Amino acid sequence: MQHHRARYALRYRHFVTDPLTQLRAKRAEVTAELDQLAAPAADTVGISFGKRIGDGTSIAVERITQVAAHDGLQVTLAEIERAEAKVLDGTYGVCDTCGKPIAAARLEARFWSTHCVDCA
């Protein structure tokens, strides 16, 4: 089974030019976005949250949206880190769940994928 995985990893590794460099660049991009979302909110002193839609409500909705984006970016960061590990151990392009090759089109579109479409 290990030989089977290594053979597919080598085969699909060439669909993404230098995957480790791309993954590291994507990790830096996601980390920068996370840092931006984690930055303290602008001064909101004097904004009230009353019955009417106003600045307070808008800020609350914006913050909820930012929290959801932060959570999604955390998931993406974990996927990127897993894909980096797979490049280093020679299993990049092989699904973590079923062990089958990840389609080249999927790796081209989402090069940090660690699961095939069926297992994603």
pLDDT tens per residue, the chain (120 residues)?
455 455 545 555 555 568 999 999 999 999 999 999 888 766 555 555 555 656 667 777 788 888 899 999 999 999 999 999 999 999 999 999 999 999 999 999 999 999 999 999
Query: What DSSP state is assigned to residue 101?
Result: B
Closest CA to 75 of 99, 118, 110: 110
- The model carries a pTM of 0.71
Domains of the chain, by residue range, sit at 2-109
The amino acid present at 93, given as its one-letter code, is G
Query: What DSSP state is assigned to residue 48?
Result: -
How many Cα atoms occupy the beta-carbon half-sphere of 108 within 13 Å?
5
Architecture of domain 2-109: Up-down Bundle (1.20)
